[in-house]
Amino acid sequence: MTSRRLQKFFRFNRSERWGLLFLISLLFGFYGLASYFPSRPLPPAPGNKIAENSLNPTRAGGNAANIPLTLSRFDPNRTHAADWIVMGLPARTARTIENYLSKGGRFRKKEDLKKIWGLRLTDYERLAPFIQLETSPAHQEYQQTRNNQLPKTGSSNPFGSKAEKRPILDLNRSDSAAWESLPGIGPGYARRIIRYRERLGGFISPDQVGETYQFPDSVFQRIRPWLKDDAVGSVHQLDLNTVSIDTLGRHPYCGFAKARVIVRYREQHGSFKSFDELLNIQVLDSQWIARIRPYLNIK
């Protein structure tokens, strides 16, 4: 008896079923429509002036550019990623600037900031009036040295007479302090040059210094007159008949693809008798062999 009453209570006729279906559809429609309208931010807590001015820039004397309240004069060479973010730059751009500085880069004039990859022109124009570069005594000395080395009109030496007084650097024996004595070379560039020299096994030509990763050609051309043309000291050579894929593949002139082909050819045909046998490998050409030849030997 009770079950019949319950069935009668929960039984819907045709019109009631359509009405219930319409109500459910209406509820889902309102839920989906609400997602298209952004929620209004909560009002800032009393006394939070930064939040208040970010919501209403005109109260802080702002304009259409919406200059943050915390913006003031700053030195980009001493500004950290968190500070760039506070000043309105995207986190990715802030990390790019910090990586540039950590690798020895330096802003010498405010326009240098525009060279940062990913920095929008509107952000630069907003920040430029507040950039104040500090000139340290070391930087003043660098500028004075650079001025003394500028080319002189009518001089047979394109780098001026002062260039002749600077000591010539030994490519394979100079330490980081010696490299830093050259114009435009800081600790970051000096570390990169020495690291690349170690990966190569030594320099055999000054032009190889210009191959250093992220080393500007303008800086290389400036220091080129003070690099010895005849590299002193033998370079480290790899035995073509015993070298492993991992060791050969890490050489800057080879790579792992060529290293695998060379080692597999050696395993199939036996030890190399001469470097001419490398020409039997289709992926290698005479130009590449001539380039890496000083760093290989056959025993």
Q: Tell me, yes or no, whether 253 and 205 share the same domain.
A: no
Question: Is 266 part of a structural domain of the chain?
Answer: yes
Report the run of H or E that residue 296 belongs to, with start and end. Answer: strand 296-297
Structure tokens at 148: 């003394």
Question: Is 51 part of a structural domain of the chain?
Answer: no
Which of 25-29, 168-172, 265-269 has the largest mean confidence?
Answer: 265-269
Domain that includes residue 250, residue range: 238-297
Phi, psi of 88, deg, nearest 5: 105, 5
Q: How many helices (DSSP H) and strands (DSSP E) are in the chain?
A: 13, 2
Confidence of residue 266 (pLDDT cuts 50, 70, 90): very high
Structure tokens at 3: 């079950």
With 0.75 as the threshold, say if the pTM is over it: no
pLDDT digits (tens, 9 = 90+) for 145-199: 444 444 443 444 444 444 445 678 888 888 999 999 999 999 999 999 999 999 9
Question: Is 177 part of a structural domain of the chain?
Answer: yes
Say what percent of the chain tops pLDDT 70. 70
Residue matched to tokens 């952000």: 123
Q: Tell me, yes or no, whether 218 and 258 share the same domain.
A: no
pLDDT digits (tens, 9 = 90+) for 86-135: 888 898 888 888 888 877 777 878 888 888 888 888 888 888 888 888 65
The total of structural domains in the chain comes to 4
Average pLDDT over residues 253-282: 92
CB under 8 A, 24+ apart: contacts of 187-192: 187/104, 188/102, 188/103, 188/104, 188/105, 189/104, 189/215, 189/219, 190/104, 191/104, 192/103, 192/104
